[in-house]
């Protein structure tokens, strides 16, 4: 099997997970070249790497460059992404800077791998909540086209980064001991609370936040439905890992709960967990750390014609970021694009 030289830009939560995923999936990498803001030795996922400073020359000789910036972070891919392409690497970017760029495919391999065939050297990873939502809804849409979708997300603090994980833990400990809670990462306490705002207001969608706009615009691009009606409310919840999404969808023709379960049971990367009588449904407690997106609470939504409701849950750092990026690279290899 051909071996590939892989670059990794950024060693935060997503970058660390990318190395884990590369190793776990036995990705054919002859080299993993780790790049960051400064040169140093660093232990990452149990291995010691000599980290290089990110410079244009650092991308020379690479076949693939994974940009692992956390959601909303700016800088690395904007500064070095297209430069890496010029130097011969295929860039797979976890950030949001180029997702809606017409030159850049936005890909979930189980859903729209064919979009990779039109790549110009740069591919974007969708937002974590978009990936988890579409893993549950796209297999149904392929059978019976969607007319409308409403989604409410319940997003874990790891989507914000390591500081948010540490802050939730500190606040929970402080609550248990009666100590003062530090509130730095979010505008309000997150422990034992929910925050119905992720991101700032988005002028393209008055009243909606940037996270809600991402779900709308990215889902339309991935599904190839530029006029699909989508509305969402994105909520930060006091959970460490895994995002959950409640979806209410209207289809162009009737689809029963039984049909939906059968379609989703045969969908790659999806695990149906759906038996309310025995309290079986996907939850962050059990989905976190896993590769599949769990789908449950599948039922008819009687409030609309041809309506269906379902609940999705997936690990936002793995399938919602690191794993999806590695899967994009694997799909490109299978399609002879690298």
E-state strands within the chain: 4-9, 29-36, 40-44, 47-53, 64-67, 90-93, 122-124, 146-155, 229-236, 243-251, 270-272, 293-301, 307-314
Q: Say if strands 243-251 and 29-36 run parallel, antiparallel, or are unpaired.
A: unpaired
Instruction: Examine the residue annotation and report whether 243 is marked as an active-site residue of this protein.
Output: yes
Catalytic residue among 234, 243, 312, 313: 243
Q: How far is CA 62 from the centre of its chain?
A: 24
**Whole-number Cα distances in Å, 26 to 18, 20, 23, 51, 326:** 12, 10, 5, 21, 11
Instruction: Examine the residue annotation and report whether 313 is marked as an active-site residue of this protein.
Output: no
Q: Say if strands 64-67 and 90-93 run parallel, antiparallel, or are unpaired.
A: parallel
The token duo for 255 is 């689809």
The token duo for 230 is 């989508």
Among the listed residues 14, 289, 225, the one whose alpha carbon sits nearest the alpha carbon of residue 125: 14
Catalytic residue among 119, 128, 141, 313: 128
Contact 11, 34 (CB under 8 A): yes
Positions annotated as catalytic residues are: 128, 243
């Amino acid at each position: 099997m051909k071996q590939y030289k892989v670059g990794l830009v950024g060693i935060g939560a997503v970058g660390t997970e990318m190395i884990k995923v590369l190793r776990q999936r036995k990705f054919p990498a002859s080299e993993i070249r780790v790049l960051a803001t400064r040169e140093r030795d660093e232990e990452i996922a149990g291995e010691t790497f000599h980290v290089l400073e990110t410079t244009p020359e650092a991308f020379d000789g690479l076949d693939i460059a994974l940009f692992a910036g956390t959601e909303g972070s700016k800088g690395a891919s904007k500064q070095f992404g297209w430069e890496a392409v010029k130097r011969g690497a295929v860039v797979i970017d976890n950030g949001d800077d180029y997702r809606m760029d017409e030159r850049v495919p936005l890909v979930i391999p189980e859903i729209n791998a064919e979009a990779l065939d039109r790549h110009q050297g740069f591919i974007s990873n969708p937002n974590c909540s978009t990936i988890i939502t579409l893993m549950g809804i796209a297999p149904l849409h392929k059978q019976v086209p969607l007319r409308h979708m409403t989604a409410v997300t319940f997003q874990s603090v790891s989507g914000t980064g390591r500081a948010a994980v540490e802050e939730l833990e500190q606040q929970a400990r402080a609550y248990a001991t009666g100590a003062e809670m530090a509130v730095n990462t979010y505008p309000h306490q997150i422990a034992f609370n929910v925050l119905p705002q992720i991101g700032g207001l988005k002028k393209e969608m008055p009243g909606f936040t940037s996270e809600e706009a991402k779900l709308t615009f990215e889902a339309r691009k991935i599904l190839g439905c530029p006029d699909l009606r989508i509305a969402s409310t994105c909520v930060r919840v006091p959970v460490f890992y895994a995002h959950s999404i409640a979806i209410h969808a209207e289809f162009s023709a009737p689809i029963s709960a039984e049909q939906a379960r059968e379609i989703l049971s045969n969908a790659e990367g999806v695990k149906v967990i759906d038996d309310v009588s025995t309290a079986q449904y996907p939850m962050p407690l059990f989905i976190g750390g896993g590769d599949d997106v769990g789908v449950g609470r599948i039922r008819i939504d009687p409030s609309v014609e041809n309506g269906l409701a379902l609940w999705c849950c997936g690990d936002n750092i793995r399938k919602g970021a690191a794993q999806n990026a590695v899967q994009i690279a694997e799909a490109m290899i299978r399609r002879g694009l690298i």
